[in-house]
Amino acid sequence: MGSKTYGTFVVETNDEGFMTNFQQWNKDIAAAIAKQEGIAELTAPHWKVIDYMQKESAAKGSAPSIRAMTKSGVVGTKEFYDLFPGGPAKKAAKIAGLKKPVGCV
């Protein structure tokens, strides 16, 4: 376990850079993680996905997979990949301050 600094915030992370304490998460940290992940700006569609992922994680104990996200009706497969290129479920979960989704490599 380690930590990462985003602006003035220091957060606890695991070896893969996922936050280990969701209570430390905020929108400024999300924006900083997004930039680090190659997303210049979080738009309304990004926030819709992030909000849904956080609600599902709180209800079920883990972030939804790609399949679960695209079946939810919140976002289609192509849009999900466009919003979070290069591993959408993993990248969206990281930005949302969640653990890596089960089944992500």
Q: Domain locations in the chain?
A: 2-95
Reported confidence tier of residue 103, pLDDT bands at 50, 70, 90? low
Q: Is 104 a catalytic residue?
A: yes
Helix (H, G, I), strand (E, B) or coil at 68: helix
Tell me the mean pLDDT in the region 37-57.
Answer: 96
Beta bridge partners of 10: 5
pLDDT reported for residue 58: 94
Contact 50, 92 (CB under 8 A): yes
Q: How far apart are CA 62 and CA 90, in angstroms?
A: 12
Q: How far apart are CA 92 and CA 83, in angstroms?
A: 9
Instruction: From the candidates 4, 35, 81, 104, give the one annotated as an active-site residue.
Output: 104
User: For position 1, what pLDDT does the model report?
Assistant: 72
pLDDT (tens digit per residue) in 48-99: 999 999 999 999 998 998 888 989 999 999 999 999 999 999 999 999 999 9
Single pTM value for the model: 0.92
